[in-house]
Amino acid sequence: MAMTFQRAVKREAKLRLALSGPSGSGKTYTALTLARSLAGPSGLVAVIDTEHGSASKYADLFEFDVLELDSFSPDRYVEAIHEAAAAGYAVIVLDSLSHAWNGTDGLLEQVEKIGKARYAGNTFKAWGDIKPLENRLIEAITGSPIHVIGTMRSKTDYVVEQNERGKAQPRKVGTAPIQRDGFEYEFDVFGELTADNELIVQKTRCPALTGQVIAKPGKPLADILIHWLIGAPAAPPARVVLHAVPEVQPITPSQPAPKPVKSGANPRWKPLEMRANFVGISSPTGWAELCRTLTGKDDARRYTLDDYDIVERDIQEREAEKQAQHELGITYTDDPAAPIGTSTVNADDLSTVGVGAHPAN
């Protein structure tokens, strides 16, 4: 199949944003701030809360609907993303995605269970069973028709720094997100929040955010993202034809009607005529009259396969009767003076067409 390159077009899109940070860095608050700006004054925001109602503590500051999960299988996230899109929400916040990795029924727990149940504790083999589950989550996030903001906890570490008075002071920092290695790069924008609620942009497809460090990220960041997401209208989905239906062409004078099946078009007609000879229909005239009587058609060119079946059934009946008569010692003759037990019916006598020849009593 030939491949055709087309001119690239930047189309309007939905945001996929990931935020990670240590506890207390403001992940939930920042996500809600950005979500409300993205949704606009009349848009709806949905939140998946995996941390025992922590998102609802901001319900006095932001308007949103919440779904609190107690099982963190990736399929539960997938289902919630689809439900939010179907319900007309503009943004969904996944707070947090770390639970889909190491929470109850998360990927790590499922790998352990499958490894013990199927592979004698070999969790390496179990990853083959789990990978499709993870892929479904990624596909639901990247393919969603609404904005998606995901938060992730990061592993906490401490560094010792000098404060403004020159004294050593420990500071909490986040390292890698708690999720599958590289998971954060499935998003358009990924940033790490510090304990001081500064966003360090680590990866971005939005050029205006490259290398940025943003203190207390909020509406100004949302405005940059909204502007970047503007583009040509999204392409309509490709039309899928499940079953191609052939176009029916009208019959016109230049396109004559199809001809009926002739008796000669079916190679079985000639053998059938020969079989008729064995049951006493030996002349062409008798054969033609038999076919006319059984089909109701005067023109042999109009015979169809259904007509063939009708004639064949009659021949079969004649063959069966002839066989029975042979076994009883009954013979056919054209001699009117023949003794009882022989037939005086001419095999071509049309009075017997369709019912077979019968011996005289």
Structural domains of the chain ordered from first start: 16-229 (3.40.50.300), 263-352 (no CATH)
User: Would you tell me how many other CB atoms lie within 10 Å of the CB of residue 132?
Assistant: 9
Give me the tens of pLDDT residue by residue for the chain, a chain 361 residues long: 788 999 999 999 999 999 999 989 999 999 999 999 999 999 999 999 999 999 999 999 999 999 999 999 999 999 999 999 999 999 999 998 999 999 999 999 999 999 999 999 888 888 999 999 999 999 999 999 999 999 999 876 656 667 677 776 665 555 688 888 888 889 999 999 998 999 999 999 999 999 999 999 999 999 999 999 998 886 666 555 555 545 555 545 554 544 444 444 455 677 777 778 777 787 778 878 888 888 888 877 777 877 878 888 888 888 777 777 766 665 544 444 444 444 444 444 444 444 444 444 3
The residue count of the chain comes to: 361
DSSP strand E in the chain: where? 16-21, 45-49, 65-68, 91-95, 147-162, 168-177, 189-193, 198-204, 213-215, 331-332, 342-343
CB atoms inside a 10 Å sphere around CB 303:
23
CB atoms within 10 A of CB 320: 12
Cα–Cα separations (whole angstroms), residue 157 to 103, 151, 176, 270, 299: 21, 18, 10, 94, 98
Q: Hey, what are 46's tokens? A: 């949905």
> What is the predicted pLDDT for the residue at 178?
86
Q: Contact at 8 Å (CB) between 302 and 260? A: yes
Report yes or no: 193 and 154 within 8 Å, Cβ to Cβ.
no
**What DSSP character marks residue 106?**
S
Cα gap 194→147, rounded to integer Å: 24
333 in Cβ contact with 343 (< 8 Å)? yes
